[in-house]
Structures are given as C-alpha cells and as structure tokens.
Structure 1
Amino acid sequence: MTKLYLTRHGQTQWNIEARFQGQMGSPLTEKGIKDAENLRERLKEVEFEAIYSSPQPRAYDTANIIKGDRKINIVTDDRLKEMNFGDWEGIKGDEIKKKHFKMFDNLWNSPMDYKPNSGESYEDVYNRVVPAIEDIKKQHDGKVLIVAHGIVLAIIMMYVEGRTIDNLWKEQVLPNTSLTIVEAENDKFDIKMYGDTSHFS
C-alpha cells in the first residue's frame, strides 16, 4: 500500500496579490515559510520513502523545508507543475475577469468549457498529472510526500474520488501548506485526511 501525503506549496507574494502564477510564480512569504516549518514539525516522525515535488521554486522550496534533516533526495517531476495559464500568468484575477469574463467564469464554474487561447486546459493537466500519480504508486510501497499546486492537487483529488472534470470544483482549492493523506492500494483510494491546517496554530 502507498500512503500519499499531499500538500500545496506555501503562501507566495502572488497569492497575496491574487495574481495567476501558473508556471511562473513568486517567492514564499514569511507566512509561507513559517507554515511549511510547522508542517515539517508535524511530520517529523513520518518516515518517508520518497519526496516528490513540482520543480517550480515555490513548491520545491516548500518540499525542502518539510524535508528537514532527512537524508533523502527530493525528486522533481515536471508533470506536477501547475497548470500553464499562458498569457494570464502574472496578471491579477480581477483584471482577467474584466477582459475575459466568459473564459474566466468557465475556469471556475464550467471546467469542461474552459478552452484557453494559450496555456493548458484541465484535460491537458489531467493527462500529465494522473500518470505521475500512478507511476508513484507503482514505484513505492510506503509513505510518500508530494508537494504540488492548487489545480494539480484538485485534479489528483478528483481522480482519487472518481469524479469527472465537470465536477472538479465540487471541493474548494486546498489551502497552502495544508495536509491531505490518501492511502492507495491497487485501484482503490481511501482518503484519511483532507486539507487539514491544524498545524498552523
């Protein structure tokens, strides 16, 4: 059985500014670093067989903080990168909503109809993220930490719960540095914890 410990990167400056980060991004804030340190403390007794991360700095830096003094390498996987938002990246959500209302609305309320002028669709993200999770399951029979991004984690949980893309946003975006735990055995998944932030205090 593989036990997946899933977390989203720590808070970044662009999170605060409500800018679309995608495959660009900004550094962790002091809060983002502190929250990752708190999660490290919470998980200090967990013996991870492997740690996987998106190669994007905000995720990798979070993974490195959580890793602490464990003698284990962080494996970066391009398939865990955040959705590519194309020419929306670095732009504030309010500005995008004004200029591209229908597409912006589809992004959050009608995922199957979201067809960007540049960047990726949800189907594109699904088609790279799910094989990554399946590969991790096949390679490990133990506890694995995965540090990724909001939409990537939403896709993972959609897959775990057996939902379709049109029901992607049945659940809210997982909070930064929250903890979700999923046990995976063969084709079955069992969610043990979802978006827990009790370590923040």
Structure 2
Amino acid sequence: MPTRIYLVRHGATDLTAEDRFAGSTEVALSDEGRTQVAALAQRLRCDSLDAVYTSPMHRTIETARIIAAPHGLEPLAEPGLREIDYGHWEGRSRDEIEAAYGAEYDAWQEDPLTVAPAGGESGIDVLARALPVLRRIVQHHRHGAVLVVSHKGTNRLLVSSLLGFDARGYRDRLDQSPAGLTILDFATDVRARLRLFNDVSHYEGVPTRVLQKRLSRWWSRPAC
C-alpha cells in the first residue's frame, strides 16, 4: 500500500485577488478563501487521514485547521513548507516590480529555479528546505494518508522535483489554484506517482473573481 499525500494550497487571500507577491508576507484567508477551504474540508471529510502538516504561515494554518477539524487532528507546523521569500518584491504587483526592477525581474522570469530577488529565495533554496520535510513525512507515515498544506510556489516546486520535470519551468507549466487538491502516492520515499493535480471541483460553481492578469507574464490575458 503506497503512502498517500494530499498536497493542498491554502485558500484565497485579499493579496491573491490583487495578484501580488505575498511569499513571506503574513495575510489571512479572505471570505472567499474560507468558502473554498470549507468546500474542500467537506470533500475530504470521509477520507482517512493519519496526520496534518502545514506551513507555519497564518493562511496555511487556518486552511489546515478547517480541513483537519472533521478528523479530530491538530495540524503540525513545519517551517520548511513556507512559501518562497520574494525579498524586496513582497507585497508588490508584477507591474510595479517590472517598472522598478525590470532587469532583475527578466532574469528571474527566465530561470526562477536559480535566480532570486534581492533579499529573497530561489527555487533551489525552497526545494532545499521543503523536499526533506516531505520525505520525512512520507517516512514517518509509511502506508498512511497525510494532508500537507503549503503554498503555490512551494507546491509546484515539490511536484516538479518529485516527478522529474525541469523545475526551471515550474511557474509556467504548472498552475496551483487556491484550495487546489493534488494527490501523490509514494511507493518509496522518493518514488512518487501523481494521481490528481490542482483539482478544484469541490468549489466549482462558487462565485469567484476572475483575474485578468497573472504574476507570470506568459499567462497574462489582456483586460476585456
């Protein structure tokens, strides 16, 4: 029997709606985000969970507690699961960053795995702390089922690494919606199979704000 990891991104925040970089910035879930997470909690209420782990940030802890409540579990905080620190880009929109730090942003867009904003982290930095945490969780709960709540960037980097993708393209090739559910089965500590990716069917039909711009310039859409 494989070890199953339910890998979840936290629900939406006000900065999510404004499409701002909020890696190390503490921000609570918005009402919309709580609705998304409550729908996921309802979806997973009958699944058997052995433990719940979370990034120590407010938005992930709140997400983890909502989902864990029906199972009678208390989330365990793991600092290594926190989001990328975007340094001096924190709290700014892409337009603001391109205007103020154009050359730095261009270099990061080409290779976010090895390039970091000043004072921030690269993708390699994130994997160096997050991947060992996930492996320890798999080792500790072998043949069990565990919920892991983290962030958009961290989750995509983990999936890229585990599945052998070129992680330089993690931002353009993998999406991660608020309260999106990804399921990975582990035959060993490092041999993973993707069973479900970024599924949000639990809140389909729930009204949401459609963003016209995205933090990646390659997937931005012109305003209508």
**Amino acid of the structure 2 residue aligned with 1:58:** R
> In 2, are the aligned partners of 1:5 and 1:179 still within 8 Å (CA)?
yes
Corresponding residue for 1:147? 149
- SS in structure 2 of the partner of residue 23 of structure 1: coil
Shift of 1:93: 2.0
Corresponding residue for 1:26? 27
1:14 maps to 2:5:
no
> In 1, are the aligned partners of 2:45 and 2:70 still within 8 Å (CA)?
no
Corresponding residue for 2:186? 184
Corresponding residue for 1:196? 199
- SS in structure 1 of the partner of residue 41 of structure 2: helix
Shift of 1:12: 0.2
- Mapped to 1, the partners of 2:52 and 2:113 lie a distance apart of 32
Corresponding residue for 2:6? 5
Corresponding residue for 1:47? 48
> In 2, are the aligned partners of 1:25 and 1:90 still within 8 Å (CA)?
no
- Mapped to 1, the partners of 2:163 and 2:91 lie a distance apart of 31
TM-score with structure 1 setting the length: 0.94
Q: Within 5 Å, which residues of 2 pair with 1:67-106?
A: 67-106=68-107
Shift of 1:113: 5.0
Shift of 1:19: 1.6
> In 2, are the aligned partners of 1:106 and 1:113 still within 8 Å (CA)?
no
**Amino acid of the structure 2 residue aligned with 1:51:** V
- Mapped to 2, the partners of 1:166 and 1:178 lie a distance apart of 22
Corresponding residue for 2:130? 129
- Mapped to 2, the partners of 1:16 and 1:25 lie a distance apart of 15
Count residues in correspondence: 201
- SS in structure 2 of the partner of residue 151 of structure 1: helix
Structure having greater relative contact order (Cα 8 Å, sep ≥ 6)? 1
Query: What is the CA deviation profile of residues 126-150 of structure 1, one whole-angstrom value per residue up to 9, with x for unaligned ones?
Result: 1001111111111002110011001
> In 1, are the aligned partners of 2:127 and 2:157 still within 8 Å (CA)?
yes
* Structure 2: gaps (5+ residues): 205-224
Percentage of identical aligned residues: 29
Query: What is the CA deviation profile of residues 4-45 of structure 1, one whole-angstrom value per residue up to 9, with x for unaligned ones?
Result: 001100000011112211111322111100000000010000
TM-score with structure 2 setting the length: 0.85
- Mapped to 1, the partners of 2:113 and 2:156 lie a distance apart of 14
